[in-house]
Structure 1
Amino acid sequence: MLRNGLKWTIIAGLSLTLAASTASAADYVQPNHSYSGYSLPSYLNKVPVAKPIWSTNLGHPSESYRYGADRVAVGEGTIFYLKNGKLVAANAKTGKTIWTYGEKLLTQVIYQNGTILVSDTNGRVYMVSAKTGTTKWKSASVKGQSVFSFAFDKDTVYANTNKGILAYDKATGKLKWSNGSVLNSGSMMVVDDKLLASTWESGALTVDVTYAINKQTGKTLWRAGSIPSPLLIKDGYLYSRDTWPPNDSNTYQYPLSVIELSTGKAVEERQYIKIPEGQDALSTQVYTSATDGQFLFIQANNAIFRYDYRKPGDEQQPKTYQYNGKWIAGPYNNKLFFEKEYGGGIQAIKVLNDERVDYEGLDNPVSRLDFYNSGMFVGQTDGEIYALNVITGKALFRYQTQARSFEAFHIEDGVLIAQADDSLYAFKIPAQLLQPLPTTPIANVDYVNTDAKITINGKVQTLKLNPIMIQNQIYVPLQAVAEALGAKVQHDAATGATTIVYKNQNLNAPEGEAINQITYVKIGDFGKLLGISVVWDQAARSVNIDTSKS
């Protein structure tokens, strides 16, 4: 009977298929009842699967034990985490519990110089010894007060609460002062003699606001409206985007306010990205921005624009990066990182030359991304964790969890701590991911790497550096090529001058472009300097040097 039933099932399936395939043209309507995505089959993913060295479940946050996002801090080879309202200290390599502390505790958990800061549901702040788990001090209880975050300097702990900012003596826990004018504070930072607190305030309009508070007295020194958390603080000035709502009279998309740190006064507003003629100012959008060194990166109009923040936009031609997807991180390692538009995954654009770097294995939307030295750590919304080399794009390992969201990855004593929903997972980190990034500052000139070769008197040279192209002109690495010709290159640190000694002549090197601390010069200038023939052969993609010709 079983065989007959199976046979009948197969015949019925064939009958349905045949019926669909023989419908007349007049009767057929193409269905839209199915969808097939583009996910890579799991068996084709060659990234090695790791095994956690330990894991633990933290339990779900609840109204009784309300947690914020990040329940973890690390230091001294130890991980400190909140579990069921208690603070737990565990060995980072083994997960073995060292001590537990308190009850009804909440985030934020902060490690700082051998101590842990944490608070409870009554608004009481605790400073705990990281080594022993004993109380160093606890503040007075304030009913109805929740601590959202901490900041500190060498003498004071600053607590951001729903009733304002409180300052506690770091040694005793005694309340120094309170400032009730700053509510809903989004971030705090100590800058010289001030505590900067960024928040938002709602009236007829909801606006971003930054306050400066005297960190000794708690007195408000100034208030800057339409100024969110600073992008940059340098040489006594705060730089931040002016977020006052735009109107139809605006002619630029991105105003950068320059705020005098001592007074809070806007001394200049630099405008970037001119609105195209005939385009409605209210329809233009700027999504996000970031700074790196002297450069300001602005996302707008489906592109990223790079400016020198020290000059107004009208005085410069911005470098533009085109992409498909969403800008999610960077600059980091001189790269901008994007979540791909279709199918998930991450691709980076090199800031220096627009080259693309794909990151292996990633194939779902990103829930969390953190960088640490040469490591790039990603949690995807399908629950998979990846550890990648940010320089090469190669994935070192992956691990599948049941999570959909991730909080900050932490690194301690060569161990990666991943927060996946209500669980912690610890992994040993490959040594290459712990290596510091190479110091390669962004160049002041845009260039393109080439695969061109260099020949000297007909012989192909083996050099570590290839020629590059700047504005469609070929440049060669000065020192590498000069030494290949038997010349000596001498640098005078005092004057910054470079001299080439060639055939008993002392020659002043031509001006070139410094890229990644290497000087490149135009091939024509190089030939004229040494009195030799230097020619670019486009067909052979070769720089041909002939010392017998001038």
Structure 2
Amino acid sequence: MLINLSQQMKRIIAVSVTSSILACGLQGGTVVFAEKPVISSTTPMYGVASAPAVKPVWSLPLAKFDQDGRAITAALAEEGRLFALVDGGQLAAYDGTSGRKLWKYGSGLRPVLAYNQGSLYGLTTDGAVIAVAKNGSKQWTTAIRADKADQIIPVGDTIYVTQNLTLFALERATGKLKWKITEKENQYSSGSNDIIVSKGVVLRSYLVQGALTSNQINAYDQATGKKLWTSFAQFSPLLVKDGLVYSVMDTFMRGDDDSINRSLHIAVLDLLTGKKKGERVYNWMVEPEVPGQIEFGGANGSAFLNGNDLYIYQGKAVAKYNFASYTPNGKAVQKWNAPNPKEYQPLYSIYGGKLLYQSFRDNSILALKTTSGQEIHFPSGISPVQTDLFANGLFVARADGTLDAYNFATTKPVFSVKTGSGEFDPTLKSGDMIYVRSGGTLHAVKLPATLTKS
């Protein structure tokens, strides 16, 4: 029996993935102004591009931080500006086009940054959260001892901070700590770095271990942090709407032992109480290569939601259902032959009419055209270290220190940039500029119009 529990853990609408490509991008209620990558993946593989070499418009040395034995940097591209941690952990702002320095603030900051509605949020080495206006003026500082915080998440009038099993909630206007909750029971293993906030309820997912290990949804009162309910064996919500939570159920080792007649179950939970209000079941048939073999998760029984389109991966097929119009035993609206599930894993994203996959063998990208079912394979052959997709630009950083830019629609190389280092962080984008981070230096590159429009 093949098991891929982690790939079912969370749904992804706008996906960000690492080389392990876990389906773990729970979408919270965060409002952001940055341009987010459709995919952002470490260690994919592409062939050598034959394209004109371009030089950066400007470059900037960044502060380097150790994270699990790897050097990382911290920067954000927002509203035509570049915000970054530079020498000594100072927060600095630059004009995104010219590189002109606008201001600097503080020192000794950790590589945890967030931006929302004209404010920047950061973290000091002793775990205080800071808020700085985009003009560089201080707004507030709050000491909450979150020195190991993973992420800062602005939502509405609240700033949430995740630190493994602890969740902090701060007032956006003043920084005052509203509440803090830590899940202390031994069965809790880890907490998601994303949250959903709806109708006064905060939802966060955890990995819970015991006789059976699975994902669990916890609900907290937005005003007080009081735990309202928990629901075990429920993956992170596909959707929260009209007071209902829609979540794929974990059926592994829970009676789902038919190797031919497969199904995906979606629970409908009351947002305020967690009470189960209903259940949706989507059925399909497979032909296992080995009689009796059951495969779970990833390409073999997981889903993501894009608007009203529910995509369910069904082994050698992928099917689309109308989520807004469910009927028991309903048929798929559309169905395609899927890439070999032993060779490709889904990236839980559709972009430009293409479902995105990544190769297990070399981590190259495959795009499945939903208009024709055609598979588009991007070049492969060598080992770069980072791939990012923005608008119509696919940016591939290679181990020799070169970043190649491809036209996503045509797969043709457009330009390349030599950085001098094979260590890359995810590429950033704002407007018609991308910011390539390599070896502790940020390089600003102007994009041609063909890559800036989806």
TM-score range, shorter chain: 0.7 to 0.9
CA distance in 1, matches of 2:312, 2:417: 34
2:374 maps to: 355
* 1:419-434 matched pairs, under 5 angstroms: 419-420=437-438, 422-434=440-452
CA distance in 2, matches of 1:81, 1:66: 21
The answer on 1:315 being equivalent to 2:330 is: yes
The answer on 1:161 being equivalent to 2:175 is: no
2:411 maps to: 393
The answer on 1:372 being equivalent to 2:390 is: yes
SS at match of 1:286: coil
Alpha carbons 2:286, 2:315 under 8 Å: kept: no
Amino acid at match of 2:212: L
Give the CA RMSD over aligned residues: 3.4
Compare relative contact order (CA 8 Å, sep 6+) and give the higher one, 1 or 2. 2
1:50 maps to: 54
CA distance in 2, matches of 1:224, 1:351: 35
2:352 maps to: 333
Deviation at 1:70, TM superposition (A): 6.9
Match of 2:195 among 185, 188, 202: 188
2:310 maps to: 296
Amino acid at match of 1:373: A
2:20 maps to: none
Alpha carbons 2:345, 2:359 under 8 Å: kept: no
> Which deviations, in whole Å up to 9, do the C-alpha atoms of 1:65-115 show, x marking residues without a partner?
999967222224221112343322222123343323223322321111221
Deviation at 1:172, TM superposition (A): 1.3
Structure 1 pair 401–229 and aligned structure 2 pair: CA distance change class (3 A)? farther
Amino acid at match of 1:323: P
Structure 1 pair 346–202 and aligned structure 2 pair: CA distance change class (3 A)? closer
CA distance in 2, matches of 1:159, 1:151: 6
CA distance in 1, matches of 2:202, 2:60: 37
Task: Say which one has the larger Rg.
Answer: 1
**What residue ranges of structure 2 are gaps of 5+ in the alignment?**
1-44
Structure 1 pair 233–338 and aligned structure 2 pair: CA distance change class (3 A)? same
The answer on 1:201 being equivalent to 2:199 is: no
Alpha carbons 1:81, 1:88 under 8 Å: kept: yes
Alpha carbons 2:124, 2:147 under 8 Å: kept: no
Alpha carbons 2:46, 2:380 under 8 Å: kept: no
CA distance in 1, matches of 2:46, 2:166: 48
Match of 2:154 among 152, 155, 162: 152
The answer on 1:103 being equivalent to 2:110 is: no
Amino acid at match of 1:270: V
Which protein has the bigger strand share?
2
Structure 1 pair 59–174 and aligned structure 2 pair: CA distance change class (3 A)? closer
CA distance in 1, matches of 2:404, 2:46: 16
Alpha carbons 1:270, 1:311 under 8 Å: kept: no
Match of 2:365 among 346, 351, 355: 346
The answer on 1:242 being equivalent to 2:245 is: no
The answer on 1:286 being equivalent to 2:298 is: yes
CA distance in 2, matches of 1:55, 1:362: 29
Match of 1:75 among 75, 78, 97: 78
Q: Which one is further off, 370-379 or 71-80?
A: 370-379
CA distance in 2, matches of 1:231, 1:377: 29
Match of 1:171 among 162, 170, 173: 173
Structure 1 pair 368–228 and aligned structure 2 pair: CA distance change class (3 A)? farther
Amino acid at match of 1:388: Y
Match of 1:137 among 140, 144, 147: 140
Amino acid at match of 1:376: L
2:19 maps to: none
Deviation at 1:126, TM superposition (A): 0.3
> Which deviations, in whole Å up to 9, do the C-alpha atoms of 1:374-399 show, x marking residues without a partner?
33333345544233333333332222
Amino acid at match of 1:128: V
After TM superposition, the score normalised by the length of structure 2 is 0.74
2:97 maps to: 93
Amino acid at match of 2:352: N
CA distance in 2, matches of 1:111, 1:378: 26
CA distance in 2, matches of 1:421, 1:242: 43
Alpha carbons 1:151, 1:189 under 8 Å: kept: no
CA distance in 1, matches of 2:367, 2:132: 42
- Percent of counterpart pairs with the same letter? 25
Structure 1 pair 408–231 and aligned structure 2 pair: CA distance change class (3 A)? farther
Deviation at 1:345, TM superposition (A): 4.6
* 1:225-264 matched pairs, under 5 angstroms: 225-246=232-253, 249-251=256-258, 252=262, 254-264=264-274
SS at match of 1:432: helix
Structure 1 pair 413–276 and aligned structure 2 pair: CA distance change class (3 A)? closer
CA distance in 1, matches of 2:310, 2:404: 30
> Which deviations, in whole Å up to 9, do the C-alpha atoms of 1:31-54 show, x marking residues without a partner?
xxxxxxx996x5xx4222221122
**What residue ranges of structure 1 are gaps of 5+ in the alignment?**
1-37, 438-550
1:305 maps to: 319
* 1:461-480 matched pairs, under 5 angstroms: none
CA distance in 1, matches of 2:149, 2:242: 32
CA distance in 2, matches of 1:270, 1:169: 41
Which protein has the bigger helix share?
1
CA distance in 2, matches of 1:67, 1:170: 32
Structure 1 pair 429–104 and aligned structure 2 pair: CA distance change class (3 A)? same
Amino acid at match of 1:286: G
Alpha carbons 2:233, 2:250 under 8 Å: kept: yes
CA distance in 2, matches of 1:407, 1:289: 29
1:457 maps to: none
2:24 maps to: none
Match of 1:416 among 430, 434, 437: 434
Structure 1 pair 195–248 and aligned structure 2 pair: CA distance change class (3 A)? closer
Deviation at 1:301, TM superposition (A): 2.8
CA distance in 2, matches of 1:273, 1:364: 38
> Which deviations, in whole Å up to 9, do the C-alpha atoms of 1:385-415 show, x marking residues without a partner?
2333333333322224455564433222421
Amino acid at match of 2:281: R
Amino acid at match of 2:143: A
Structure 1 pair 343–228 and aligned structure 2 pair: CA distance change class (3 A)? closer
